[in-house]
Amino acid sequence: MQTVVGVRGENMKKLKESLEKLEKRKDTNPHYRELLDIFGEVLILREKTGRNLKKDICPILDNHVEKKLSGGLPLIDFSRGDLDLAESRNYFLSLLKIAGKINEGETEGLIRELEEGRLDYEQMVRESFSHREETEDEEESGREDLVGFLIEESLRPVLERIAGRYRESIARSDWREGYCPVCGKEPKIGELREEEGARYLFCSQCGTNWQFRRIKCPFCGNEEQKTLSYFTVEEDERYRVDVCDRCKRYIKTVDFRKTQEEADLDIEDIATLHLDVLANEEGYD
């Protein structure tokens, strides 16, 4: 079992590596420099918040873990049960202050609404785990994107700790669902690893990786090769977008096997926002 000092040292090493990769992406993706600068601050605050956590978000019964995973159920069900969100809410408020460097008016408004009780943080958390239709209003959509990212990040430290605790149990379970085994969130990005191109999905909500069939849609389970395809951009074929013509969903995929780079999918998700735009323009959600 790792000591507290050992875990902290490992986390600091991971943070340093992430910040180094982030600096490289600023050079290769200068149009995302402002976002990557902000995300660097988020990574530093994430590590500090995770280090100082006092409680779990909810109880997890160890003797139920194997049964839940074997039955295709994530460890945490955000649709029911009590959640202890005090620490995550404080982190959310700190994140709003960082995000204010990009959109001060929007974030100040959110802080006021939270303080005045017009916004309920717990309700926003639970809604973030349900599928809601996207608004067609561009201004409102921008607000939803900002809030969605901040809500997701606000839960990251506490969920990342739980994910680390049960990493071995998840590996033994041979989880092959298209959603996260820890929190149930759907992935936005994945990667190809190893010489044979094994596919791994990544949960931005809690940082969990898990292996998944290469020719299969993680969202609808479609395995018909003729309705599954992908596209790349000429500038860099290390990045691609896998699409399903049955459910019209997409997922970004990173392939660093030729360069033998180790991908940081948190950073790559931001550095490939242009792929999200392209996928949306092609009619995929």
246 lies in some domain: yes
User: What are the tokens at 14?
Assistant: 């991971």
Domain ranges, residue 257:
186-281
The secondary element (H helix, E strand) that includes residue 209 is strand 209-212
**Which pTM does this prediction carry?**
0.91
Cα separation, 49 vs 40, in Å, equals 14
pLDDT of residue 204: 96
86 lies in some domain: yes
pLDDT of residue 80: 83
End of a domain among 112, 144, 170?
170
Asked whether residue 145 falls in the same domain as residue 209, the answer is no
Backbone angles phi, psi at 59, to 5 degrees: -75, 140
How many folded domains does the chain comprise?
2
Asked whether residue 154 falls in the same domain as residue 260, the answer is no
pLDDT of residue 11: 83
End of a domain among 101, 135, 170?
170
179 lies in some domain: no
Asked whether residue 149 falls in the same domain as residue 21, the answer is yes
pLDDT of residue 10: 82
Asked whether residue 140 falls in the same domain as residue 166, the answer is yes
DSSP labels, 160-182: HHHHHHTHHHHHHHT---SS-TT
Contact 124, 85 (CB under 8 A): no
pLDDT of residue 160: 96
pLDDT of residue 81: 81
71, with CB counted inside 10 A (0-12, 13-18, 19+), is exposed
Asked whether residue 164 falls in the same domain as residue 269, the answer is no
Q: Which amino acid is at 102?
A: I
Q: What is the largest CA-CA distance in the chain?
A: 55
Asked whether residue 192 falls in the same domain as residue 149, the answer is no
70 lies in some domain: yes
Asked whether residue 260 falls in the same domain as residue 148, the answer is no
End of a domain among 170, 205, 228?
170
User: What are the tokens at 106?
Assistant: 């929007």
Q: Which amino acid is at 74?
A: P
Any residues with CB less than 8 A from the CB of 202 and at least 6 apart, and which? 187, 188, 189, 190, 191, 208, 209, 265
Asked whether residue 217 falls in the same domain as residue 77, the answer is no
176 lies in some domain: no
What's CA 184's distance to the chain center, in Å?
Answer: 11
Contact 128, 151 (CB under 8 A): yes
Average confidence (pLDDT) per 10 residues, the chain, 285 residues: 61 93 93 94 97 95 96 94 94 94 84 91 92 53 78 97 96 95 97 93 97 97 97 88 98 93 95 95 96
Asked whether residue 162 falls in the same domain as residue 191, the answer is no
Q: Among 168, 207, 169, 183, which Cα is nearest to 50's?
A: 207
Cα separation, 22 vs 32, in Å, equals 11
Cα separation, 179 vs 160, in Å, equals 16
The secondary element (H helix, E strand) that includes residue 104 is helix 104-115
